[in-house]
Chains A and B, each alone.
Chain A
Amino acid sequence: MNAPDRYERFVVPEGTKKVSYERDTKIINAASFTVEREDHTIGNILRMQLHRDPNVLFAGYKLPHPLQYKIIVRIHTTSQSSPMQAYNQSINDLDKELDHLKTAFEAELLKFSRDY
């Protein structure tokens, strides 16, 4: 009767921001991004992509609690970059990778259906 709705796991509640940003108060060029209603799927690809950026000194994510449907991504960069810049770039690069993957898979699909 009082069970929470299942969609609470993946629908961002009204009035809540999908991504919020908080600068570190002690370390320059360090910040945390709180991403609502996301999990390891996004957290892990973001983290691994951030590791490919040489200006990123630290990148990690955590799912604070299995019943809190959010992840926290923490980024620390050199002075050449900023957490926000690194975050945006990682999303752009992942998007590019997926675009490439899509065309590669479609081309392969076409080739495959022709050959067999």
Chain B
Amino acid sequence: MEGLSYARMPRVKIRELKDDYCKFELRDTDASMANALRRVMIAEVPTIAIDLVEIEVNSSVLIDEFIAHRLGLIPLTSERAMSMRFSRDCDACDGDGQCEFCSVEFHLRVKCMTDNTLDVTSKDLYSSDHTVVPVDFDANTTTTTDDNNNSRANSGIIIVKLRRGQELRLRAIARKGIGKDHAKWSPAATVSFMYQPEIHINDDLMETLTLQEKREWVESSPTHVFEIDPVTQQVTVVDAEAYTYDDEVIKKAEAMGKPGLVDIIAKQDSFIFTVETTGSIKASQLVLNAIEILKQKLDAVRLSEDTVEADDQFGELGAHMRGG
């Protein structure tokens, strides 16, 4: 029995890659694996987020809980999260959740001294660990944005606004967690996959249509999937993946009395993934971490030795009773 394997060998092709965005093709596997990866990326890949806030002074217009909630939602750079400990099973601080192995401390002290409204932002948070800091969205934005709105550039995430005399002073503890516990720990902004569509136009049937009918049919698709070649006047597929499985072109063909004009198949073993992160980890890292977490989860559901032993005894006993 050893050596026999029903494992698949999936193929991957990356199409587009940015720090917080990744688009890739996943082939030779099934929807259960694609969906498991998607679910793990959203809810089970760990990040670091503020989880405990001690407010020293708060004379702002927002109540303490409001500010604490907002602090929790600020994405923090979480490359460290995979190797960090969960506070609940950290033995260094005995469940206190405040030691260096399982937490990062932040301080914020801001007071407005002028007549101008003062914005308190994620940039006012001072971290005890330089590897865990609020995500800086401006650091890696390309030159396109800072031309016309300089005021918005390099501003961080706004937490609260202060007027003259108002003050905010607090200490915050950030911990490792997963999206299943609270969505603030989810590294995913969006993770989605689609079946790769395969579109076959019945050319012979298509040629029985007049140019006007062809135009009408092409227009019936809500997304730009088909086009008419200006020279040959033939209908061609320009972007198969723009198809949203809406069935509109199929219904249109039937309404025109031309069923079977187009055949659209969702390939059951090919997926196109779109992964976008909050900036807490890189999109490529999110995919790799998800694979790792899924492996760990599978390892955790292996049968334990004593279960196997108990069953062996049961088996022998059963064989005995059957007179074997």
Q: A: which residues have CB within 8 A of B?
A: 6-7, 9-11, 17-21, 23, 33, 35, 38, 40-42, 44-49, 52-53, 81, 84-85, 87-102, 104-106, 108-109, 112-113, 116
Contact = CB atoms under 8 A, between A and B. Distances in A.
Interface string B147-173: 000000000000000000000000000
B302 interface: yes
Contact of A49 (B6, B294, B304, B308): B6
B229 interface: no
Interface of B: 1, 4-14, 17, 24, 29-30, 32-33, 35-36, 39-40, 44, 88, 178, 180-182, 284, 287-288, 291-292, 294-295, 297-304, 307-308, 311, 314
Given A41-B44, A93-B5, A112-B17, A87 B303 contact: yes
Contacts of A97: 7-10, 29, 33
Nearest to A104: B12
Contacts of A90: 6
A95 B298 contact: yes
Contact of B294 (A85, A98, A106): A98
Contact of A102 (B13, B291, B298, B301): B291
Contacts of A53: 6
Given A35-B301, A40-B39, A42-B297, 15 more contacts: A7-B181, A20-B307, A21-B303, A21-B307, A21-B311, A23-B311, A41-B44, A41-B294, A89-B6, A91-B298, A96-B5, A97-B7, A102-B292, A105-B287, A108-B24
Given A19-B301, A41-B36, A100-B10, A105 B291 contact: yes
B11 A45 contact: no
A47 B301 CA distance: 14
A98 B74 CA distance: 32
Contacts of A23: 311, 314
A57 B35 CA distance: 24
A104 B88 CA distance: 34
